[in-house]
Structure 1
Amino acid sequence: MEDWYMVMIEKIYNLTLATRLSEALVLTKAMAEKCAVQGSSRVRAWLECYLTVIYFYQGDYIKCLQYYEKSLSLPEEEQDWLSRHCMGAYAAKTYQLTGQEERSIPLMESEISRLRRLGLYDELSLNYLIYAEILLTEEIRKLSQGSFADFLAFRRYLEMAEEHAALNRSTEDYLLFAKILRLTSEVLIRPNKALHDVKDIL
């Protein structure tokens, strides 16, 4: 069943990133049910973990967090192995989106530390990108509240995302997203060139 999982999760991953989310959801649930019938609760739990990602992209943040938090009951070594799917990063962004900012940054720090410890360097680019976006959102929130905004941490993680992008099969997409994030921050930093930056983003 573990070998079978490796084949199916690749298909589900590709459907998700191709934004064929309904297909990804139906396939994941069908495969999880098949595991239940065959008595493989372990592999079923692995499949259900990926629902964190699918529901994130669908915008169902309640279910996204439900499945992420359910995954925390898995043994530590299984959580380590499944961390290659970056579910913690999606959950961290979801915590921020749902007003639980205090949980977002510690979770991202923990996930990045875990990936480094495990040597999963090709997954770091996506985690750095999501963390940079989280940090940018926090700085925008500070500005909206009239507080001082410091974009140093955002820039640092964005640079690391760009450096690691070459290790990932989605290099071109990651670099494009990084460029858009950088331009977004520049709109805030240099408002006199905002129109030019917005045109570049578009």
Structure 2
Amino acid sequence: MGQIQIEKTNIEGLCIITPTVHKDSRGYFMESYNERDFQEAGLDLRFVQDNQSMSQKGVLRGLHFQKQYPQGKLVRVLKGRVYDVAVDLRKHSATFGKHFGIILTEENKKMFYIPEGFAHGFLVLSDTAEFAYKVTDFYHPGDEGGLAWNDPEIAITWPELKGDYKGNAGSAGYTMEDGSPLLLSEKDELWLPLKESFTF
């Protein structure tokens, strides 16, 4: 052990992972994932797929989850800077509907572990960002779920984003601080708020 540091958050299961980075005049080296280190830290995980995306500034992806086949995710930024968010959707959790967010950058090299039972999304704060994540289950078409990114009940404060957080989940009326538009997919424009998506 010793290659990673684990920081717990105020929501059970969510944790921030900081790898040991070895730097010299040539650059740096780090282990982005080591099963033994993770297991010794109490994270006994089985990842089945690696994903990577590139997005421009103002792109907001989320808030996504899978309904019947929930995915745990280990996320990090390879290039650029994003604000990454997880929302607790575990029915019997004391923090159901609560969220936690963190800035992930190519400089801080932090990773964010999001277990099964959470919605996930991120906003790109740099000109472009390359985002990578490992998942504990495969993508299942037709099993997608989502929540409105600006649901006032969840009340995420997205950094560097200007707008009044009222109305539907659409991007109209929102811009980044430098005037860049907020960019959502057609699907992400239509997700409903938490109280309309979950009834117990």
Aligning the two structures, in what range does the TM-score lie when normalised by the shorter sequence? Answer: under 0.3
Q: TM-score, normalised by structure 1?
A: 0.28
Which structure has more strand as a fraction of its residues?
2
Q: TM-score, normalised by structure 2?
A: 0.28
Larger radius of gyration: 1
Which structure has more helix as a fraction of its residues?
1
